[in-house]
């Protein structure tokens, strides 16, 4: 129960080990370093949660650092949005920093590196340099400028900085090793000429440092103890360390601690994408209303949709941290927001798909204001009044003329409770020319103690307020839209991801404010959208309630069968021989009937394997009887299909006959 019993993730293990090895706890310092070139998304909340979470756990400072070294892509708008999102999540950064704060210091160090013979000016085109770089499997070759004199390098670098060079004319690169197995170590670029206005440094600079040179040294300047980033930066670590060691040589008095980069797997969510570039495309092509469209996986989108900071933090916490690729099921995110809103949201009644219901024995013109509980989860939530009258709206789905015993809602002749009101009985219906029910006529009873199976929500027609409700579906139809080599993620766009509904809500909602959150009873959680006005209320459906009725309900579930589709391909993906092998692991421990089934499966699978697949298993260790048995069974199938016995087969069988495992002996005998 207590926090200390919770097991540590691998990053915490690393930190604990460092502390045990003498790192002082007050030296711990982390950072979250976004590039201000887009909005933060749910994937970033993992990185944020890790670094800020560690900060909270160890009471260590966490800087928010904008990695702003590419003026071509970065904008103040993004800086502001990022700050808003991080604050909204409830995290407090120790200091707001910018990589651009360090341009001068970085430049000074670059000169020292040149003087050390560790960096040089290259003056070739990017294309020829790329060619000289080789490929992951082929080493690179040295370029013609690699051995320029230090003086010449210094002079050219100064000219670059002075604005005397054009973009692409010269660059500064580190002198490491063009034959290095790690491509990043093949004389990486440190500076390029970029005659662009920077959102903070204006036109002060016309050379800008590259990521590898900037990022590590920014960590170093800020004396970050653990620099945590996602897995794709793993290859950069070697370079990170190389730069760090060079600079530490000049600056160890000023900056004693050398940071340590460690990498974790980024978060992926099913049915959405996590790439700023691709999200930008959705925005630019108008497929969503903006970065904060409620369907977007951005923090601002989730916020507008009605997700709370607590729910997102809980989500990130439950997801955990490790180093393997993952796709997290959206149902976990949905669980987190339901759990949070269940405690907080007040219950109200709203009818999204109305049908008129008339209570024939309720006097015309009469109205009553009935007491309704705001939340059964929170006693302090109190009560409100809801108006009741002769004519109501209820959900179309809640009525059927005839229905099976599993249908707890209203049917002709059946009784049902109206939430917060009376028990009614359906007596008759009115139909239009096409035979559609347009009105349900009921009688009511004031005996509310009576037990009935169903309870319906409703709204008094006379008092109800019209409201716009936006119902969202997932943005993509594929579980992993950007993981297909042969298909573009845009092909999986769900064209029906937004449904606008004209709904009727109870009058207490008249003064709901933007951002207010409610549970529309029996339907789900909804919040008041930014577009809402007092004249035209707009609600977003944050998430539906868990709905066990939907699972029982026959057919008509059109697009909710994704769950089944997944299992098949996963199994089919394993080759027959692998499936057979996995039977082998447990074969000798199975119950008789299970074993019969398994054997039949194995015989089936064995028909599609080759002898070459099987032969290596002849050498299986004696103690692994199961594997040897399944091998024997499979071998039998191959022999039946015309395979000739050879030396290896005979040896395998002979050896098996002497085994102490009876099952194996039986199978071996069968092959004689």
Partner RNA sequence: UGGCCUAUGGUGUAACUGGUAACACGUCAGUUUUUGGUACUGAAGAGUCUAGGUUCGAGACCUAGUGGGCCAACCA
Question: Annotated active-site positions, please?
Answer: 35, 266, 276
Applying CB under 7 A, the site for RNA has a residue count of: 104
Site for RNA in 5-24 (CB under 7 A): 7-10
Q: Is the dihedral of CA 648, 649, 653, 659 positive or negative?
A: positive
Tokens representing 648 are: 């290896």
The distance of closest approach from Cβ of residue 531 to RNA in the complex, given in angstroms and rounded to an integer, is 26
Q: Which of 97, 305, 384, 581 binds RNA (CB under 7 A)?
A: 581
Name which of 656, 648, 609 is nearest 628 in CA terms: 656
| Binding status of residue 51 toward RNA by CB under 7 A | no
Min dist CB 672 to RNA, Å, is: 23
> Given the complex with RNA, which of 136 and 642 has the nearer CB atom?
136
423 touches 415 (CB < 8 A): yes
Answer yes or no whether residue 413 interacts with RNA by CB under 7 A: no
Comparison of 147 and 483: residue with beta carbon closer to RNA:
483
Residues 319-378 that bind RNA (CB under 7 A): 319-329, 331-332, 335, 338-339, 342, 347, 375-377
Task: Find the largest Cα–Cα distance for the chain.
Answer: 102
DSSP code at position 617 = G
From the list 25, 56, 104, 130, which residue makes contact with RNA (rule: CB under 7 A)?
130
Contacts (CB under 7 A) with RNA, residues 246-285? 265
- Nearest approach, Cβ of 557 to RNA (angstroms)? 12
CA 126 to chain CA centroid, nearest Å: 36
- In whole angstroms, the minimum distance from the beta carbon of 20 to RNA comes to 11
Confirm or reject binding of residue 578 to RNA (CB under 7 A): yes
Residue 429 Cβ vs RNA, minimum distance, rounded to whole Å:
18
First vs last C-alpha separation in the chain: 61
> Which of 81, 210, 412, 653: binder of RNA (CB under 7 A)?
210
Q: Report if residue 585 touches RNA, rule: CB under 7 A.
A: yes
Closest to RNA by CB, 182 vs 477, is 182
Separation CA 262–CA 239 (nearest Å): 13
Q: Is 35 in the site for RNA (CB under 7 A)?
A: yes
Cβ 197 to RNA, closest distance in Å? Answer: 15
Q: What is the DSSP letter of 104?
A: H
CB 322, min distance to RNA, A: 4
Please state the closest distance from residue 432 (CB atom) to RNA, in A. Answer: 25
Residue closer to RNA (CB basis): 186 or 293: 186
Distance CA 227, CA 237 (A): 10
Q: By CB under 7 A, what part of segment 520-549 binds RNA?
A: 521-522, 545-549
* Of positions 25, 92, 234, 499, contacts RNA by CB under 7 A: 234
Q: Is the dihedral of CA 646, 649, 652, 655 positive or negative?
A: negative
The residue among 552 and 666 lying less far from RNA, judged by its C-beta, is: 552
What's the 3-state SS for 201-218? Answer: CECCCCEEECHHHHHHHH
69 binds RNA (CB under 7 A): yes
Query: What whole-number distance in Å separates Cα of residue 550 and Cα of residue 397?
Result: 11
Give me the residue label for tokens 């006959």: 657
SS3 for 217-275 is: HHHHHCCCCEEEEEHHHCCHHHHHHHHHHHHHHHHCCCCCCCCEEEEECCCCECCCCCC
- Three-state DSSP class for 97? strand
Tokens representing 555 are 């057919």
Out of 104, 557, 582, 646, name the contact with RNA by CB under 7 A.
Answer: 582
Tokens encoding 425: 């009985």
Please identify, using beta-carbon distances, which residue of 98 and 504 lies nearer to RNA: 98
Residue whose CB is less far from RNA, 138 or 253: 138
Q: What is the DSSP letter of 363?
A: P
Of residues 418-437, those binding RNA (CB under 7 A): 419-421
Site for RNA in 443-482 (CB under 7 A): 448, 454-455
Q: How far is the CB of 269 from RNA (least distance, A)?
A: 10
**Among 4, 286, 406, 565, which residue sits at the site for RNA (rule: CB under 7 A)?**
406
In angstroms, the CA 603 to CA 342 distance is 52
Least Å distance, CB 360 to RNA, is 21
Alpha-carbon span 339 to 584, nearest angstrom: 43
User: What's the CA gap between 672 and 669, in Å, rounded?
Assistant: 5
For residue 323, give Cα distances in angstroms to 11, 314, 636.
10, 20, 42
CA 418 from chain centre, in angstroms, equals: 40
- Which listed residue (51, 311, 620, 634) binds RNA by CB under 7 A? 620
Candidates 75-83, 127-135, 529-537, 653-661: pick the segment binding RNA (CB under 7 A): 127-135
From the list 113-121, 354-362, 533-541, 579-587, the region that binds RNA by CB under 7 A is: 579-587
Q: How far is the CB of 415 from RNA (least distance, A)?
A: 12
Please report whether residue 650 would count as binding RNA according to CB under 7 A.
no
Contact status: 501 vs RNA (CB under 7 A) = no
When the beta carbons of 21 and 570 are compared against RNA, the nearer one is: 570
- 151/167 with CB nearer RNA: 167
Please choose, from the candidates 628, 624, 623, 617, the residue with its C-alpha nearest in 3D space to the C-alpha of residue 656.
628
Q: How many residues does the chain have?
A: 672
Q: Which CB sits closer to RNA, 301 or 584?
A: 584
Task: Looking at residues 142 to 201 of the shown chain, list those that interact with RNA (rule: CB under 7 A).
Answer: 167-169, 171, 181-184, 189, 192-194
Among positions 115, 200, 235, 661, the unique one binding RNA when judged by CB under 7 A: 235
Q: With both helix axes pointing from N to C terminus, report the angle between 211-221 and 103-115 in degrees, rounded to the nearest 10.
A: 110
SS3 assignment, position 649 = helix
Binders of RNA among residues 78 to 117 (CB under 7 A) are: none
Coil vs helix vs strand at 320: coil
User: 21 or 434, CB closer to RNA?
Assistant: 21
Structure tokens at 614: 């099987």
State yes or no: residue 648 binds RNA (CB under 7 A).
no
Is 350 in contact with 505 (CB distance < 8 Å)?
yes
Task: Select the residue interacting with RNA from 135, 361, 646, 651 (CB under 7 A).
Answer: 135
CA distance 229 to 217: 15
């Amino acid at each position: 129960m207590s926090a200390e019993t919770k097991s540590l993730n691998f990053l915490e293990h690393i930190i604990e080990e460092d502390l045990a090895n003498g790192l002082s706890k007050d030296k711990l310092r982390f950072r979250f370093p976004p590039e201000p070139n887009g909005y933060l998304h749910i994937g970033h909340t993992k990185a944020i949660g890790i670094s800020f979470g560690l900060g909270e756990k160890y009471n260590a400072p966490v800087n928010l650092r904008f990695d702003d070294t590419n003026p071509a892509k970065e904008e103040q708008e993004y800086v502001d949005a990022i700050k808003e999102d991080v604050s909204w999540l409830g995290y407090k950064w120790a200091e707001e920093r910018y990589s651009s704060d360090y341009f001068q210091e970085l430049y000074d160090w670059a000169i020292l590196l040149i003087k050390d013979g560790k960096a040089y000016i290259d003056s070739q085109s990017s294309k020829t340099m790329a060619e000289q770089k080789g490929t992951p499997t082929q080493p690179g070759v040295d370029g013609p400028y690699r051995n320029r004199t230090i003086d010449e390098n210094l002079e050219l670098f100064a000219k670059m900085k002075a604005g005397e060079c054009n973009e692409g004319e010269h660059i500064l690169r580190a002198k490491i090793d063009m034959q290095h197995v790690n491509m990043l170590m093949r004389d990486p670029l440190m500076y390029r000429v970029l005659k662009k206005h920077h959102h903070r440094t204006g036109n002060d600079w016309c050379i800008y440092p590259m990521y590898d040179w900037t990022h590590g040294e920014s960590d170093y300047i800020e004396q970050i103890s653990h620099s945590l980033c996602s897995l794709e930066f793993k290859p950069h670590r070697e370079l990170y360390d190389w730069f760090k060691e060079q600079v530490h040589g000049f600056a160890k008095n000023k900056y004693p601690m050398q940071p340590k980069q460690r990498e974790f797997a980024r978060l992926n969510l099913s049915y959405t994408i996590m790439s700023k570039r691709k999200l930008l495309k959705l925005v630019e092509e108008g497929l969503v209303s903006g970065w904060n469209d409620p369907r977007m996986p951005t923090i601002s989108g989730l916020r507008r949709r009605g997700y709370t900071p607590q729910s997102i933090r809980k989500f990130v916490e439950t997801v955990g941290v490790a180093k393997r690729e993952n796709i997290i099921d959206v149902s976990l995110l949905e669980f987190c927001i339901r759990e949070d809103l269940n405690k907080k949201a007040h219950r109200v009644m709203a009818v999204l798909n109305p049908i008129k219901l008339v209570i024939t024995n309720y006097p015309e013109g009469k109205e009553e204001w009935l007491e309704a509980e705001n939340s059964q989860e929170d006693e302090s939530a109190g009560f409100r009044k809801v108006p009741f009258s002769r004519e109501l709206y209820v959900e179309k789905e809640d009525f059927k003329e005839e229905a099976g015993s599993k249908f707890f809602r209203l049917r002709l002749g059946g009784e049902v409770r109206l939430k917060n009101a009376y028990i009614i009985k359906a007596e008759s219906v009115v139909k239009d020319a096409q035979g559609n029910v347009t009105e349900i006529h009921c009688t009511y009873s004031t005996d509310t103690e009576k037990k009935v199976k169903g309870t319906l929500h409703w709204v008094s027609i006379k008092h109800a307020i019209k409201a716009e409700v936006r119902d969202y579906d997932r943005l993509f139809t594929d579980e992993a839209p950007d993981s297909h080599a042969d298909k573009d993620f845009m092909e999986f766009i769900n064209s029906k991801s937004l449904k606008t509904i004209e709904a009727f809500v109870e009058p207490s909602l008249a003064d709901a404010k933007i951002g207010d959150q409610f549970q529309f009873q029996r339907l789900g959680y909804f919040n008041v959208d930014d577009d809402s006005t007092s004249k035209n209320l707009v609600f977003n459906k944050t998430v539906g309630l868990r709905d066990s009725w939907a699972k029982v309900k026959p057919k008509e579930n059109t697009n909710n069968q994704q769950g089944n589709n997944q299992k098949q391909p996963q199994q089919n993906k394993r080759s027959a021989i692998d499936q057979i092998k996995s039977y082998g692991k447990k074969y000798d421990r199975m119950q008789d009937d299970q074993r019969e089934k398994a054997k039949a499966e194995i015989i089936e699978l064995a028909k599609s394997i080759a002898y070459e697949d099987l032969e290596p298993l002849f050498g299986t260790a004696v103690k692994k009887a199961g594997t040897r048995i399944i091998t024997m069974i499979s071998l039998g199938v191959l022999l039946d299909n015309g395979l000739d016995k050879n030396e290896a087969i005979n040896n395998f069988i002979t050896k098996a006959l002497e085994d102490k495992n009876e099952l194996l002996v039986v199978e071996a005998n069968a092959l004689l």
